[in-house]
């Protein structure tokens, strides 16, 4: 596959050279970044001058209709995305999370846009504010679309969901998108963009794709643009420190590393449904997408008295996970995205093992079905156990982005909550308890360190949506280490792309602008 950027309304013609991308399963080359770098000032200008005006010709509701049409088209053509995802190591289930998950975001935004947004490009914000005694001079906040571009930089692990979950809110807001997929899985994202183009649903300039380097793009940003980044904390900091970001006050949303926790509460002793649900969730989060999920459970805390039972139960569950070629029916976990990623994970596991024991899995000896363990980027699930989490450092600090999780004991609930918060800001924590007072206490202590808290118990165990699955209706992002970003969250995710402005004027003037009936509104 020769991968090209789609910019300025066309696919750039293939050039010689360019980075090769290898199959996660076999190590063989599967794609090449074939297009040379585009002129980024022109790409931004095209978004601002062609994409933006075309988008703003439609209303919020009309764009919501377009999102729905796009979602339906992609739904009918998604098989080819599943096929390609296998090269990246995805099982059918992994690919569905990425592909169907992404299409699901489009459907949710389409539905919210049609039901909750006006047939205009002016969004009212809050209530009328009377500013004088007569009530004839009032204030009102409104939001309108930014007139720049949304620059989306994505991580490798969700080439479809990552692109679509950022695209949908920006598009609905009326802001054109320039998306840059991570190179190692760019062949899946590029195919998605080809499908989007083929759908014919989007106006020209609404979506451009840069495969490979973003060149000098950041040098040309302005305060009307938004950067939304997902990836490592290291890259986020490099980009966030770009002088233009500070000088132009460019909005910068970051979703980065997170050392998420699962907390088995003191009441959830072995034998309770909550204990079983905890074990199931930890094992699932370790193995889905081979643990390459920003939301995966990295630290699992249990009461000291339950440590032995939790270790045994997890061992038994993980022992059933067949690792191998994701194309095989019986394989539950595919490889990591590539050999370099596996190397990084093994290095970080080495660091964790300075303070942890290996409780399950041996990276040197494990069975791989239908593929070669050396040329493919395979690892077994690796469960670590840390006896002294209060004095440990790496375990709260290191995100081994693979099928790796650490089980740890705590002595009482206060200590457990202290340990959870040592992640220094996470995307998500899940709590396993059937006690309302415990749940309420936990929220008071750990919510400010988290973007999402999931309470799992016997009443919702069968239908809960999963520790690791961000829902388009709910916030995705977390404070501190997790980057401080807020994506999705229903229409909240759209607000990054709208400017809030305070209007002041006579009641009649404000009514003429907003179309509201304000007669008597302030008396
Ligand atoms: P990464 O190496 O930081 O890369 C992320 C993206 O940044 C890629 O598209 C990469 O492009 C691009 N990039 C790198 N240097 C750049 C530069 N100087 N200018 C512009 N773009 C640049 O991260 P990754 O390895 O893809 O992803 C793994 C990490 O992402 C993990 O640490 C994980 O926790 C985090 N993650 C977080 C979330 C979340 O929502 N919080 C979700 C998923 C992943 P190239 O591929 O071309 O280098």
H/E stretch holding 112: helix 92-116
Q: Contact at 8 Å (CB) between 387 and 343?
A: no
Is the shortest distance between the CB of 18 and ligand 1 below 6 Å?
A: no
From 113, 15, 101, 12, select the one nearest 58 (Cα to Cα). 113
Among protein residues, the one with the nearest Cα to ligand 1's atom 16 is 235
Name the helix (H) or strand (E) containing 427. strand 426-432
DSSP 351-405: HHTTT-EEEE--TTS---BSS-TTTS-----EEEE-S-TTT-SGGGT----SSEE
User: How far apart are the C-alpha atoms of 331 and 284, rounded to whole Å?
Assistant: 14
Which token pair is 46?
Answer: 């095209």
Quick check: 522 and 138 in contact, CB under 8 A?
A: yes
Q: In DSSP terms, which residues pair with 264 in a beta bridge? A: 432
Tell me which residue has its CA closest to atom 38 in ligand 1: 294
What pLDDT shows up at residue 36? Answer: 66
Distance of CA 246 to the CA centre of its chain: 25
Catalytic residues: 255, 294
342 CA distance to ligand 1 centroid (A)?
16
CB-ligand 1 contact for 455 (6 Å cutoff) = no
User: Which residue's CA is minimally distant from atom 40 of ligand 1?
Assistant: 255
Is 440 within 8 Å of 415 (Cβ atoms)?
no
Atom of ligand 1 nearest to the CA of 153: 9
DSSP code of residue 51: I
Residue 29: its pLDDT value, please? 95
How buried is residue 408: exposed, middle or buried, by Cβ count under 10 Å (0-12/13-18/19+)? buried
Which residue has tokens 């360019």? 18
- Structure token pair of residue 438: 């415990």
Pair 482, 426: CB distance under 8 Å: yes
Residues 6+ apart with CB under 8 A from 227: 151, 153, 218, 221, 239, 245, 250, 251, 252, 253
The residue whose C-alpha atom lies closest to atom 9 belonging to ligand 1 is 182
pLDDT at 522: 57
Q: Hey, what's the torsion of the CAs at 112, 113, 118, 120, to 10 degrees?
A: 170
- pTM exceeds cut of 0.85: yes
For each of the chain's 523 residues, which pLDDT tens digit applies? 889 999 999 998 777 778 899 999 999 999 998 766 679 999 999 999 999 999 999 999 999 999 999 999 999 999 999 999 999 999 999 999 999 999 999 999 999 999 999 999 999 999 999 999 998 999 999 999 999 999 999 999 999 999 999 999 999 999 999 999 999 999 999 999 999 999 999 999 999 999 999 999 999 999 999 999 999 999 999 999 999 999 999 999 999 999 999 999 999 999 999 999 999 999 999 999 999 999 999 999 999 999 999 999 999 999 999 999 999 999 999 999 999 999 999 999 999 999 999 999 999 999 999 999 999 999 999 999 999 999 999 999 999 999 999 999 999 999 999 999 999 999 999 999 999 999 999 999 999 999 999 999 999 999 999 999 999 999 999 999 999 999 999 999 999 999 999 999 999 999 999 999 987 665 5
Please report the beta strands in 39-183, taking only residues with DSSP state E, as ranges in sequence order: 123-130, 137-145, 150-153, 177-180
Contact (CB, 8 A) for 83 and 188: no
Query: Which residues are paired to 321 by β-bridges?
Result: none
Q: Which atom of ligand 1 is nearest to the CA of 483?
A: 41
The gap between the terminal CA atoms of the chain, to the nearest Å, is: 67
Annotate 204-221 with DSSP letters as a single string.
TTSEEE--S--TTGGGG-
Determine whether the shortest distance from the Cβ of 214 to ligand 1 is under 6 A. Answer: yes
């Amino acid at each position: 596959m020769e991968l090209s950027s789609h910019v300025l309304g066309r696919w750039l013609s293939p050039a010689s050279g360019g980075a090769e991308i290898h199959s996660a399963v076999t190590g063989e080359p599967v794609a090449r970044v074939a297009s040379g770098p585009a002129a980024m000032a022109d790409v931004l200008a095209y978004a601002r001058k062609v994409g933006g005006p075309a988008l703003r010709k439609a209303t919020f509701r009309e764009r919501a209709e377009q999102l729905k049409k796009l979602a339906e088209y992609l739904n009918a053509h998604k098989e080819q995305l599943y096929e390609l995802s296998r090269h990246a190591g995805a099982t059918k289930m992994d690919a569905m999370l990425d592909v169907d998950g992404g299409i699901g975001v489009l459907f949710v935004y389409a539905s919210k846009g049609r039901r909750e947004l006006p047939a205009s490009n002016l969004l009212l914000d809050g209530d009328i504010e009377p500013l004088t005694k007569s009530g004839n001079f009032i204030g009102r906040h409104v939001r309108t679309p930014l007139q720049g571009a949304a620059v989306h930089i994505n991580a490798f692990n969700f080439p479809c969901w990552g692109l679509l979950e950022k695209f949908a809110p920006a598009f609905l807001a009326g802001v054109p998108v320039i998306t840059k997929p991570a190179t190692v899985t760019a062949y899946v994202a590029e195919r998605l963009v080809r499908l989007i183009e083929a759908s014919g649903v989007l106006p020209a300039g609404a979506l451009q794709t840069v495969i490979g380097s973003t060149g000098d793009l950041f040098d040309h940003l302005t305060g009307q643009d938004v950067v939304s980044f997902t990836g490592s904390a290291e890259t986020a900091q490099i980009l966030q420190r770009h002088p233009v970001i500070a000088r132009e006050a460019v909005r910068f949303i970051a979703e980065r590393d997170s050392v998420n926790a699962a907390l088995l509460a003191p009441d959830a002793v072995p034998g309770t449904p909550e204990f079983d649900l905890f074990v199931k969730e930890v094992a699932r989060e370790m193995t889905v997408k081979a643990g390459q999920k920003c939301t995966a459970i990295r630290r699992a805390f249990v009461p000291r008295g339950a440590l032995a039972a939790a270790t045994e139960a997890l061992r038994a569950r993980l022992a059933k996970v067949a690792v191998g070629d994701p194309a095989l029916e019986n394989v539950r976990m595919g490889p990591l995205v590539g050999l370099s990623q596996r190397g990084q994970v093994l290095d970080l596991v080495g660091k964790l093992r300075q303070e942890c024991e290996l409780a399950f899995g041996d990276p040197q000896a494990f069975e791989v079905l239908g593929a070669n363990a050396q040329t493919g980027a395979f690892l077994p699930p690796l469960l670590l156990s840390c006896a002294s989490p209060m004095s440990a450092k790496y375990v709260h600090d290191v995100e081994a982005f693979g099928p790796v999780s650490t089980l740890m004991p705590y002595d009482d609930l206060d200590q457990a909550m202290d340990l959870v918060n040592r992640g220094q800001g996470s995307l998500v924590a899940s709590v396993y308890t059937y006690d309302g007072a415990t749940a309420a206490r936990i929220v008071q202590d750990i919510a400010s360190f988290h973007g999402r808290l999931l309470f799992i118990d016997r009443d919702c165990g069968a239908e809960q949506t999963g520790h690791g699955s961000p829902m388009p209706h709910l916030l995705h992002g977390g404070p501190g280490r997790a980057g401080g970003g807020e994506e999705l969250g229903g229409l909240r995710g759209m607000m990054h792309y709208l400017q809030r402005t305070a209007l002041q004027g006579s009641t009649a003037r404000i009514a003429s602008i907003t179309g509201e009936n304000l007669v008597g509104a302030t008396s």
